[in-house]
Structure 1
Amino acid sequence: MRERLDCALIATVCTNDWIRPWTGRHWCGRLYFHAPMPSIDISQHNASASLADSAMLLRRFDVCLLPVSEHSLAWARTSLLAARGRLETPVFALIDQLKAAALNDLYELGLHDFVRTPMCPEELRVRIERLLDEKKPALHAWPQPAVAQAQGVKEPTGPHHAGQAPDEATLCSTILERTGLELDAYAAASASRSATSRESFRAAKSKIIERFETAYIKAALGRHSGNIAMAARAAQKHRRAFWALMRKYDIDAAPYRSESPPKPFADG
């Protein structure tokens, strides 16, 4: 058993009332709750980047404690998504009235464990100790570009990927490998970001659909070496409809084709 555990409380404006009183030491001084960051206003458009931007600061702590309620669930999803590949400190959620489906989404996005409110410090300490002893790695890390290329998936290029974050580009390039929960979480995160901007519902919806269709078409072409007929068949779309989407987004199959066809096996 460790002499002392240091936990970083990631407080938000909407959870201050039930989080800030926990700051300090608990359980005979063996469990310390710190507030290393100002409270986050999740209504701000860049609030989801706070966790990722503080990755270096949070390396000082054994775990991060992320308060999550129904009101802050969308922010928690986008924050975990943005922090993938950058945040090394394990993340625990302090849950207030969340359903199982929401918890499953958070696990898919990298959450390590959770405790419900009212929180029991002794239970939390035991959970943290077990996690650190097991040295559990980050869950479901995004594939690196080299891994994606080894799997035959092309790197996303062109105007439709301009201005995207690295995690978003990686998601798009490996979209055929993603689970429904991961795609749902990304769609929810994109919708949440759009809802806090001045974009109309129609414009935000069109943008998300365009990104999905572009990423899917490119990934399908990459998997089938630029063969449009095979890519359309795998996507269960008529070849003409598949070709129409390629023209709509100005996608050329040529870059996805091998420079030379595979050599046939020699007899004997």
Structure 2
Amino acid sequence: MRQVIDCAVLWAPGQEGWVKDWMARREHALPRARLLSLPLAAQAPDGPAPDALWRLQQVLRRYDLAILPVAPEQLAWSRMALSAAEGMLPVPLLGLAHGLRAAAIQDLLGLGLSDFVRVELEGDDLGLRLACVARRKDALAAGALAGCDGAVRPATARSSLGNDAAGKSSPGWAPGLAEPDMPYALASRASLPSTEETLSFRAAKSRVVAAFEHDYLSRALRRSGGNIAMAARQASKHRRAFWGLMRKHRIDAAAFRTEGATVEDDELG
């Protein structure tokens, strides 16, 4: 790694104030790190497009790590953006948490953040965290992130090609994954036994089904902001059956709720 770490700070419209203030206060306190502003263009009425992170793959290759500022008002977008870019960014992603609860941070870590820091962290402690996260770039570069050939692309990127192009097969698109924010095939493949592990067909199938169910439920709850009733409706399942699967996989809806969300519709009585 180079002596100086280049950190891309990916701020979105509406974050200019507190993000630029955070950068200015730490600019001279990090002699071995450069905080470089990389604004995300507003492509949707309420902010950047859900595939904004995914589209930065080539740009991010020149950095050692990327910092993603997240406040409660950007939480929903951050979840979608991380889901769309899952496993495809060439640099580790460090979350800069501003006013987030622990459950929300844990959810973002599960979606692809390599680590997180709170806005209060500074000085040598912050510099050490940046250095530790930046070291993970080599591991990412050695994986499927380099080139991304054969990877599943986000639905929003696909739809931007137009209806005709979206309906045709193209290299890198997995048949049957019309909604790449639900990479069930990837979750299933990751749950299969390794070559050193021997499982019966039935046991291997159970493991794959369990991985699918957990992934499906988590993504449904993420889209609904942790509202169980809404997630169940979208999944075309009875609310009690959906809740039963959540209990089976020990999934807590609270981890997916945005700040201030209510649970009125989730009563199962």
Instruction: Specify the TM-score bucket, using the shorter chain as the normaliser.
Output: 0.5 to 0.7
Q: State the alpha-carbon separation in 1 of the partners of residues 71 and 181 from structure 2.
A: 28
Contact 2:95/2:116 (8 A) holds in 1:
yes
Match of 1:209 among 225, 235, 244: 235
Contact kept, 8 Å, 2:71 with 2:98, in 1: the verdict is yes
* SS, match of residue 53 in structure 2: helix
Unaligned runs of 5+ in 2: 145-149, 151-173, 190-207, 239-269
Partner-residue secondary structure (3-state), 1:14: coil
Are positions 1:111 and 2:113 aligned together? yes
What secondary structure, in the 3-state scheme, does the structure 2 residue paired with 1:20 have?
Answer: helix
Cα distance in 2, alignment partners of residues 90 and 100 from structure 1:
20
Q: What count of residue pairs does the alignment treat as equivalent? A: 188
CA–CA distance in 2 between the matches of 1:133 and 1:95? 21
Partner of 1:163: 178
Cα pair 1:77 1:189 within 8 Å, conserved: yes
Aligned-partner SS, 1:122: helix
User: Does the Cα contact within 8 Å between 1:109 and 1:182 map onto a contact in 2?
Assistant: no
Q: TM-score, normalised by structure 1?
A: 0.56
Report the Cα distance in structure 2 between the residues aligned to 1:116 and 1:124, rounded to whole angstroms.
10
Cα distance 1:123–1:182, how it changes in 2: closer, same or farther (>3 A)?
A: farther
Query: How does the TM-score come out when normalised to structure 2?
Result: 0.55
Per the alignment, do residues 115 and 46 of structure 1 end up closer, same or farther by CA in structure 2, a change over 3 Å counting?
closer
Q: Which residue of 1 aligns with 2:21?
A: 21
Alignment of 1:173-252 (within 5 A): 176-178=209-211, 182-191=215-224, 206=233, 208-210=234-236
Q: Which has the higher helix share?
A: 1
Q: Identity of paired residues, percent?
A: 27
Tell me: CA distance 1:185–1:50, structure 2 relative to 1, closer, same or farther (3 Å).
farther
One-letter amino acid of the structure 2 residue matched with residue 209 of structure 1: A
Once structures 1 and 2 are overlaid, which stretch shifts more, 109-118 or 180-189?
180-189
Structure number, greater radius of gyration: 1
Which letter does structure 1 place at the counterpart of 2:94? F
Following superposition, the deviation at residue 95 of structure 1 comes to: 0.6
Distance 1:135 1:165, change over 3 A: closer
* Partner Cα separation in structure 1 for residue 187 and residue 5 of structure 2: 38
Q: 1:181 to 1:94 in 2, by over 3 A?
A: farther
2:35 is aligned, of 23, 33, 36, to 33
Could you tell me how far 1:176 is from its partner in structure 2? 2.4
Structure 1 pair 23/135, CA: closer, same or farther in 2 (3 Å)?
closer
Q: Tell me the residue number matched to 2:53.
A: 51
Asked if 2 retains the 8 angstrom alpha-carbon contact of 1:10 and 1:39, the reply is: no
C-alpha distance in 1, partners of 2:125/2:41? 25
Q: Which runs of 5+ in 1 are unaligned?
A: 146-155, 193-200, 214-268
Structure 1 residues 77 and 2: CA distance shift in structure 2, 3 A: same
2:38 maps to 1:12: no
Shift of 1:71: 1.5
Deviates more, 1:181-190 or 1:47-56: 181-190
Give the 3 Å change call, closer, same or farther, for CA 71–59 of structure 1 in structure 2.
same
1:14 Cα deviation from its structure 2 partner: 2.9
Deviation at 1:105, TM superposition (A): 1.1
